[in-house]
Structure 1
Amino acid sequence: MPIVERELYGFTLPSPPKAGSSLTSFELRTNDKGRYKNYVYTLSFPLPNVYRVLLTGPDRPRPPHDNIVLPDKPLEFKLTSLDDDKCTATFDFPSTPGAAELDGSDRKRVLEISWREHINLASYEYISKEKQRVLGDLPNRSYALTEKGVMRHWWIEADNLHLGLGEKAAPIDLSGRSFTMHGSDSANYDAYNTDPLYKHTPYLISTPKAREGKEVQSTYAIYHPTNSGGLWDIQSLHDDPWGQFKTYTQDYGGLEEYVLVGKGVQQVVRTFAELVGKPRLVGRDWLGYLASGMGLGESDHPIAQELLSTWPDLCKKHDIPCSAMHLSSGYTADEKTGNRYVFTMNKKRYPDFKAMVAHFHKNGIKVVPNIKPYALQTHPHYKRLHSGDALFRDPAIDEPVVTRIWSAGVGDNEKGSWVDMTSEEGRKWWAEGVRSLIEAGCDGMWDDNNEFYLHDDDFISASSFPHDISSPIEGKGSVGLLGRMINTELMNYVSHTELEKANPERRTYVLTRSGNVGTFKYANSTWSGDNLTSWHCLRGSQAIQINAGMSLMQSYGSDIGGFAGPLPTPEMFVRWVQLGVTHSRFCIHSFKPNKNDPSGAAATNTPWMYPEMLPIIRNAIKWRYEHIPFLKRSNNLMWLSHEEALPATAWLGYGPFASDPNLYTQEILEGFDAWLGIGNILVCPALFEGQLTREVYFPKSSPEDNSVYFDLHAPFRQYLAGTKAIIATPLEHFGLFAREGSVIPVGKEYATVTELKGPGRTTIDGVDTLLESEGGVVGLDDWRGIKIFPSTNSKREYEGKWTEDDGISAKPKKTVVKVTYRGDKESVDVKVTFEQNEFKTLWGDRVYVILPAGDERKVNGAKEVQKDGKTVWEVEVGKKSHWVIV
């Protein structure tokens, strides 16, 4: 981009307040003459640990968005000192009830601002009475104007770790790189080098690296809620006399900036969720194996409906549980040209679409169809969209924007137009199309190809919104100022709203490929887009997963086996499945056309594509189903994701493990290990060809931590926190380790329903899932095990909880189960109680305690029984035990 950087200065304090007074905002202004006329700089505190800067001017309006859900009620903060002659002021962070809990720290924090020449704002905190800087503007260069936007410069902490920014290429540390802030259709991307990918998330976390014996400074994040494009540069620039720094450049509009400060990454991510909204709760069916019919859905011989309808039988034949089918856009392909015409139906391929959906439902498989927000000029609805002013306009010719859009096969494109979702007619057309698919029985919507990558910022959008958009522009506005991804958000909004209208009692499911921060108020699942089949991309997917989780994309995964490129080798496919079953979204999806096979099926990634690997693949998928109660219901995963913004797949240094200095080494940061449930299961994948052993480090939660990790694949093998070990990673498995004290609820290793009647069993078209007892393959969720990992030290007592619900209701009744346990060398004491008991589970009031493999201790007061040839211990919930408090 051309360098246009005009340093912004000349601010004064119009009405100096008195030192010691309480304020809700602090305002600086330029005068109405000179180069910088009528610019306003406002500082306020929306939360006790968040300060907000708003900088606007006559040609720099406040960015239009609705990406903040927190009501605009700034808190009072204290002006502790003011020197109007020297142009300096100091403020205390607000102190309000609950601040320490949200903040994660009781440290005193202050802001200092000066404005004699350039505005310079810095935040400080006191550690052991010593004043230390948390974040500061780059002196004499803090704010500058670009051609139509704003540029920000900060002093950089050379040794900090930088995380977040949504969906960015590996490794997880973003330091020393530059990133574009908009989404692109990045098909076949390089997981280590391609930028941008599909999401727009201008939210950067900066956290100090832990050092032995040193109290760590606070973590902070910087968030710009604009939808306009931009650029984040994190210490890759060096410019004397300023040295190294980090810079955010926003293409359009004034600057709205939130700085979030907390004890660590966990507290900052939680604060981010308070600002922008917590992740939506995902239904349990979307946590199983999600299949894709892209290769199958393109078939004409046999027709796609016949081919797809064999899927449940294929799953049964190969003993592979399956929870959902993604219907790729082949169902909309024109019978003659093959062009995709969204919201139309290829009757030749799908003579009775609704019956096919009901067939899937009967076999316990939900259906989500692919829909795309554009229309080719040959689309039967194109004239309606044109006449309804539902297409973006090119002001140079005052005509709808026409561009090349993907149309049929690989590399095929035709002329067409993106549909402007800021127009009433565009949203109305989208709503009608979504309703038609709901009426056909579809359970959710797959909002795809929605990057809205229009190539000219001067294109015009209708700028008509169905709800309040902060600082709306008057009349029609430019794509550059409004931001392309407001359309992605509105597309997801309409899909969600129509699903909610049709079935208000059910949790909606909207899967989106692209998105801004506001998108995830409506979409509750996403993925890393059209990845490339390679070991390189497999390895990079783990870092992308982890940063996405810290950016509130909590139901996230990659296309298992790779979407584009060659078929994965048998070994690569196994390793991808093994990694994928530990992610919050597990979908095997690909598009690998094979002209030698008319059905396309042979070129589609399926669990049974390599018969010699099928037993390993089956075991991994069944492990996934066994742990769905942990994934879906455990207070450590999806419920805590929804309620407290904790990512299911987390960086090793998350939460209490942030103090372990070993986790900040290059070896760990560029590695691939992660938490599945923070502090519960340590996932150590094998992601290199032929990797049969590898080294693992076992994180510590504190310098005194001497807990152990239990090897889930090797009886009796335990590892001490803070140590390293060489582990075996045969093709049959990679490293999985449960941390001492974990509580991991488990169920059956195949698909189940939570109710005999009601939304837990009956789909939106009224079809009941066929149960095992009725000749089907779906079981009842009527058995609950609890995996525990006790020490032999009786003074160590552990506690865990998990939440049960029907897995589908919009406002679910909940049952919260609490487990307390401890052990000695001979036996284990376990106590299970209901803290809340609203949802009546099919497993009733009996749970089965599972000790680590090879552990021959007994569970006191419990009945010893056999389950699949293994000893488990039956415990009645709430029953009085001989638990003795030491």
Structure 2
Amino acid sequence: MITNTELEYKGNLYPNQVTDYQKDSDKFYLTTENGVILEITVIRNSVLRFRYATQHTFEPDFSYAIDPDASRGFNELLEEETTTDYRIFTSKLQILVDKKTLRVQISDLEGNILNEDELGFHWEENYEHGGNTVKMSKITQPSESFYGMGDKATHTNLKGRRVHNWVTDQYAYGKDQEPLYKAVPFFIGLHDNRAYGIFFDNTFRTHFDFSHERRNITSFWADGGEMNYYFFYGPAISRVVQAYTDLTGTPELPPLWSLGYHQSKWSYYPEKRVKEIARKFRKLKIPCDALYLDIDYMDGFRCFTWDKKHFPDPKRMISELEEEGFKTVVMIDPGIKVDREYSVYQEGMENDYFCKRADGPVMTGKVWPGPCAFPDYTDPKVREWWAGLYESFIKDSGLHAVWNDMNEPAVMEVPTKTAPLDTRHNYDGNPCSHRKAHNIYGMQMVRATYDGVKKYVFPKRPFVITRAAYAGTQRFACTWTGDNVATWEHLWIANVQVQRMCMSGYSFVGSDIGGFAEQPNGELFARWVQLGVFHPFCRVHSSGDHGDQEPWSFDAEVTGIVRKFIELRYQLLPYLYTMFWRYAKEGVPMLKSLVYYDQEDTQTHFRTDEFVFGDHFLVCPIQEPNAKGRRMYIPRGNWYNFWTGELVTGGSERWVASDIDKIPLFIKEGAIIPKYPVQQYVGEKTIEQLTLSVYYKEGDEQSTIYEDAGEGYDYKKGGYSVRNFRLRGKPKELIIQQFKDGTYITPYKSFKINLNGLPFKISKVEVDNEKVPLESVRLNGDNSIEVDKNFNVLHLIGR
């Protein structure tokens, strides 16, 4: 048994006896005899921060992850000292700190242990680089499960696994491969129906062991920096995720077109080819809102330039594409070609904007153009310069959005795949090496890009995409899961990655539909589209090495299936936009793993395939070839089969038939699902009537529809429309109440209400407590009625 009276054990150092205890407003400081200081900050009643210093010295307190607008404040804070420990109480939690060892135990007010240290904080001197390797070990509670950690290509439940965070260009990665493109050091623990979360805000290479090496121990550590983590208490997973998301931030609402279907490839060029793709979409009537230009649009891969041979007049081309309803998105990488005739390189050199090696010269590495220099985006003046580069680039071409790739940063032909570790960074006035800045390099690049694009597409909203990310990057950009592979296994990986990202505070995410590397067959492509239309970001992207990957690249049957599902996505845009509004406003994930949806049901704790899209859709992709259906778990409650209308009771596994043209898709009873007419692109049609698909329930259910202009910022001044619906079903009655908010006037005047599962024939209709003739609501059998959009109460009475 290791005790902290031993100051060193196997090279590790430990805190010993507490000799000083101080309170300063919302902070508590506990200092040990051997110079360790534990700072505990009470941020909210159920959110705490634990920060450890050694040798009596804290590092400068600075974080790129924390949203400046994060909520703070609590309503109760008490303290108590006993002979063995110090105790801190909020209205939700009690924190116990042992006087002899500085070990921490966190419980709820009933005394149920939520999380407790094993060895607790300890550290080891890093002889190679200096500083400390900082470590934390916790006791794994009985039957504890773990979730989160961003886009890990592994099982949703991380119990028994070890993962690492070092943002890496992992072309054609495999299942369980570590690390990948993003570093999101946040996890959720769940045991005894109580959930908590831990966010280890350390940008060095970090490591997490969820009872892998030692069955009853969970540990996390970093190769440098501080032991600095935040603790969030639920007890619901939803509360944990929302608290973490509040701390690290959410994006503004995106332009509505960004939620449409997008088509990309490495690469579409010349202009003639881009136009051919656009015409084919419109000819085949397959909806699409955006076309992407990969690196080959550039002049010799120089960022912010155009290859005038392939694209002689970008502004004209982009304008003509826009007339056909296509937005144009272009890639910008961080590597700036070393070329004295290239203005961006010249400016960077003249103003000292590029990263340097420890001994002084500019750091260069090979990327697509050859030797490149890399801007230090951790320097505020460099971010300002980079944002300004978009001014003429956007104004001169009229492009709509920007895609940042290779921003890990990826460097070719070196074993590490990235910049040398001695590369220096400004880090917003806290100079450091690449060991500390690597994981946030892509985040700060896309932050600068976002600032530029936002400024120069104004008064419209920006849309920016990034491959690399650290916690908090969701404030600036959409993302995708990187260079995947056209295999059935990767279809499974994409499903769990997007679920995990949503549970990790980053909802605007998707995968390269169909796979980036290699070539899918038609069946795999169709099945992937069926999943991808239920991801917040919906884009087909491929390497182009093995043939085309457009919706029509396979046979007529596949084309028809792909069109059908893309059309369904466009019908569901108001539902999807409402999901995004809730995410941006309240931190509610757009996709919910089953354990998030119903943590009380232990059957959900190890499910990977099924997820809830928004609040009311249950989706389960088909993930193997030649399938005519699959077994899936239906969560508790009653659900309508989307295709057949059959009402099923959940809480068990069941076989669901789903031939190639369908996937298992269910709607929660009581839901009211808004639908637009099918459009070839957002804004093609004026919405003259909103369809509401109503699914009968005996009992109550809530639904919401959020709408605004889909562009611009009027929504921030009240220019939005929120419709909250309360459905109440009885054996021979259905009552729908509507509560409205906002000043935005929707273009449609009426609702077409499609009724599903109604157990009675309608004999009387009342609108706002007045009986109306059946013919005036255009009663169509017992399936649909039409009513004015501004009704307050709709009352259907049966016989």
* Same fold per superposition (TM over 0.5): yes
Write the distance in 2 (CA, Å) between the matches of 1:121 and 1:92: 13
* 1:39-67 deviation per Cα after TM superposition (whole angstroms, max 9, x unaligned): 42211201110111111235762464232
Out of 748, 757, 760, which is 1:843 matched to? Answer: 748
Q: Counterpart of 2:313 in structure 1: which amino acid?
A: D
Give, in angstroms, the shift of residue 368 of structure 1.
1.5
Q: Does 1:480 align with 2:435?
A: yes
Write the distance in 1 (CA, Å) between the matches of 2:391 and 2:247: 32
Match of 1:318 in 2: 284
Match of 1:368 in 2: 329
Match of 1:26 in 2: 28
Match of 1:211 in 2: none
Write the distance in 1 (CA, Å) between the matches of 2:664 and 2:499: 18
Give, in angstroms, the shift of residue 325 of structure 1.
1.4
Give, in angstroms, the shift of residue 145 of structure 1.
3.2
Q: Counterpart of 2:707 in structure 1: which amino acid?
A: E
Q: Does 1:457 align with 2:444?
A: no
Q: Counterpart of 1:676 in structure 2: which amino acid?
A: F
Write the distance in 2 (CA, Å) between the matches of 1:674 and 1:358: 39
Write the distance in 2 (CA, Å) between the matches of 1:233 and 1:247: 5
Q: Percent identity?
A: 22
Pairing of 1:542-561 with structure 2 (within 5 A): 542-561=495-514
Match of 1:590 in 2: 542
Q: Does 1:441 align with 2:398?
A: yes
Cα distance 1:864–1:185, how it changes in 2: closer, same or farther (>3 A)?
same
Write the distance in 2 (CA, Å) between the matches of 1:859 and 1:530: 57
Contact 1:182 1:200 (C-alpha < 8 Å) held by counterparts: yes
Match of 2:587 in 1: 645
* 1:730-782 deviation per Cα after TM superposition (whole angstroms, max 9, x unaligned): 0010111111111111111224556xxxxxxxxxxxxxxxxxxxxxxx22222
Match of 2:19 in 1: 13
Q: Does 1:495 align with 2:449?
A: yes
Q: Does 1:296 align with 2:268?
A: yes
Out of 94, 104, 109, which is 2:93 matched to? Answer: 109
Match of 1:801 in 2: 704
Match of 1:386 in 2: 349
User: The residue matched to 2:20 in structure 1 has which SS?
Assistant: coil
User: The residue matched to 1:851 in structure 2 has which SS?
Assistant: strand
Give, in angstroms, the shift of residue 421 of structure 1.
1.4
Pairing of 1:64-79 with structure 2 (within 5 A): 64-69=62-67, 78-79=77-78
* 1:634-673 deviation per Cα after TM superposition (whole angstroms, max 9, x unaligned): xxx1111111111122101224x22122212x4xx2x411
Contact 1:165 1:202 (C-alpha < 8 Å) held by counterparts: yes
Write the distance in 2 (CA, Å) between the matches of 1:47 and 1:204: 19
Give, in angstroms, the shift of residue 829 of structure 1.
3.2
| Number of residues of Structure 1 aligned to a counterpart in Structure 2 | 761
Match of 1:874 in 2: 786
Cα distance 1:12–1:136, how it changes in 2: closer, same or farther (>3 A)?
same
Match of 1:281 in 2: 253
Q: Does 1:831 align with 2:784?
A: no
Write the distance in 1 (CA, Å) between the matches of 2:323 and 2:149: 41
Match of 1:677 in 2: 614
Write the distance in 2 (CA, Å) between the matches of 1:802 and 1:879: 15
Give, in angstroms, the shift of residue 134 of structure 1.
0.6
Write the distance in 1 (CA, Å) between the matches of 2:500 and 2:524: 23
**Structure 2 regions of 5+ residues with no counterpart?**
1-8, 411-417, 766-773
Contact 1:170 1:541 (C-alpha < 8 Å) held by counterparts: no
Match of 1:418 in 2: 374
Match of 1:790 in 2: 696
Pairing of 1:362-761 with structure 2 (within 5 A): 362-378=323-339, 380=342, 381-395=344-358, 397-407=359-369, 414-423=370-379, 426-439=382-395, 440-452=397-409, 454-463=418-427, 465=428, 472-473=429-430, 476-481=431-436, 483-523=437-477, 525-565=478-518, 567-593=519-545, 602-633=547-578, 637-655=579-597, 657-664=598-605, 666=606, 669=607, 671-678=608-615, 680-700=616-636, 707-715=637-645, 717-751=646-680, 753=682
Cα distance 1:16–1:830, how it changes in 2: closer, same or farther (>3 A)?
closer
Cα distance 1:619–1:822, how it changes in 2: closer, same or farther (>3 A)?
same
Cα distance 1:859–1:435, how it changes in 2: closer, same or farther (>3 A)?
farther
Write the distance in 2 (CA, Å) between the matches of 1:421 and 1:371: 14
Match of 1:771 in 2: none
Q: Does 1:349 align with 2:333?
A: no
* 1:546-599 deviation per Cα after TM superposition (whole angstroms, max 9, x unaligned): 11001121111101100112x1011101100001111111101111225xxxxx
Contact 1:162 1:175 (C-alpha < 8 Å) held by counterparts: yes
Write the distance in 1 (CA, Å) between the matches of 2:17 and 2:354: 42
Write the distance in 1 (CA, Å) between the matches of 2:10 and 2:362: 31
Write the distance in 1 (CA, Å) between the matches of 2:796 and 2:657: 40
Give, in angstroms, the shift of residue 13 of structure 1.
3.4
Cα distance 1:503–1:349, how it changes in 2: closer, same or farther (>3 A)?
closer
Contact 1:692 1:728 (C-alpha < 8 Å) held by counterparts: yes
Q: Counterpart of 1:393 in structure 2: which amino acid?
A: K
User: The residue matched to 1:237 in structure 2 has which SS?
Assistant: coil
**Structure 1 regions of 5+ residues with no counterpart?**
96-107, 209-215, 298-303, 335-339, 408-413, 466-471, 595-601, 701-706, 755-777
Contact 2:289 2:682 (C-alpha < 8 Å) held by counterparts: no
Contact 1:820 1:831 (C-alpha < 8 Å) held by counterparts: yes
Write the distance in 2 (CA, Å) between the matches of 1:488 and 1:458: 18
Q: Counterpart of 1:394 in structure 2: which amino acid?
A: R
Out of 114, 117, 130, which is 1:137 matched to? Answer: 117
User: The residue matched to 1:563 in structure 2 has which SS?
Assistant: coil
Cα distance 1:120–1:626, how it changes in 2: closer, same or farther (>3 A)?
same
Pairing of 1:222-261 with structure 2 (within 5 A): 222-238=198-214, 244-261=216-233
User: The residue matched to 1:883 in structure 2 has which SS?
Assistant: strand
Contact 1:232 1:248 (C-alpha < 8 Å) held by counterparts: yes
TM-score (norm 1): 0.81
Q: Does 1:168 align with 2:104?
A: no
Write the distance in 1 (CA, Å) between the matches of 2:388 and 2:250: 29
Contact 2:14 2:123 (C-alpha < 8 Å) held by counterparts: yes
Cα distance 1:490–1:4, how it changes in 2: closer, same or farther (>3 A)?
farther
Contact 1:864 1:871 (C-alpha < 8 Å) held by counterparts: no
User: The residue matched to 1:779 in structure 2 has which SS?
Assistant: coil
* 1:243-277 deviation per Cα after TM superposition (whole angstroms, max 9, x unaligned): 63111111222222111111111000111122121
Match of 2:190 in 1: 207
TM-score (norm 2): 0.89
Pairing of 1:27-106 with structure 2 (within 5 A): 27-30=29-32, 36=34, 38-57=35-54, 61-62=59-60, 64-69=62-67, 78-83=77-82, 86-93=83-90, 95=91
User: The residue matched to 1:603 in structure 2 has which SS?
Assistant: coil
Match of 2:768 in 1: none
Q: Counterpart of 2:314 in structure 1: which amino acid?
A: F
User: The residue matched to 1:745 in structure 2 has which SS?
Assistant: strand
Range with greater deviation from structure 2 (342-351 or 118-127): 118-127
Write the distance in 1 (CA, Å) between the matches of 2:752 and 2:463: 32
Contact 1:315 1:322 (C-alpha < 8 Å) held by counterparts: yes
Match of 1:814 in 2: 720
Write the distance in 2 (CA, Å) between the matches of 1:673 and 1:694: 11
User: The residue matched to 1:393 in structure 2 has which SS?
Assistant: coil
Match of 1:104 in 2: none
Contact 2:405 2:467 (C-alpha < 8 Å) held by counterparts: yes
Cα distance 1:308–1:543, how it changes in 2: closer, same or farther (>3 A)?
same
Give, in angstroms, the shift of residue 608 of structure 1.
4.4
Contact 1:505 1:811 (C-alpha < 8 Å) held by counterparts: no
Give, in angstroms, the shift of residue 6 of structure 1.
1.9
Match of 1:330 in 2: 296
* 1:790-812 deviation per Cα after TM superposition (whole angstroms, max 9, x unaligned): 03x4xx24332211111112341
Match of 2:319 in 1: 358
